[in-house]
Amino acid sequence: VTNGGKTTLAKKLQKILPNCDIICQDDFFKPESEVETDQRGFKLYDVLDALYMDEMVKSIRSRMNNPACSCVLTEETQTTCTNPKNTKDVYILIVEGFLLYNYEPLNELWDRRYFLTLPYEECKRRRSTRVYQPADTPGYFDGHVWPMYLKYKNELEENSSNVVYLDGTKPQEELLSQVYNDIVQELTKQRE
């Protein structure tokens, strides 16, 4: 969901997980001139066609094939990703975005799936506090953003399994702890 805390959660996880990198779906938006406009004059940003999804898949696959070159080091990890001695380490790639599970070529890549939710009123309130380029036009949230969220969420629920739904109204530290503990358990399983 828009303004659900995806980027905040991803960045906090990156700070505390070793050998961790992030790819943000927002980095793959097409230029405004290439984004379709509907009959009401709304730019259709909340659809897959507004994104260079093939480029995103290539970027993800590239990082998965060569993770040490893209790893972001943090003070907390105190490791070096380019050191050959670390080749046995597990590298973590967090991919965050709003339409990740509705694009079939990505679905085979996920080890874990998390989906942040917000109720309508909270989502609208948070969205109203953000500044976007281009700016949201009057009625855009109700006329495009929220309906597209519901459409893609329904598709996700019909077609995907193994998704952990997270309540975006919970405190950030609680969400961080829940996801961090889940990732640590997954890493433990992979190392066994």
Residues assigned a catalytic role: 26
Task: State both tokens at 136.
Answer: 């949201």
Dist CA 65 CA 87 (whole Å):
13
Please report, for residues 92, 98, 192, the alpha-carbon distance to residue 10 in angstroms, rounded to integers and kept in the order given. Answer: 11, 13, 26
Neighbours of 156 (CB within 10 A): 17
**3-state SS assignment for residue 25:** helix
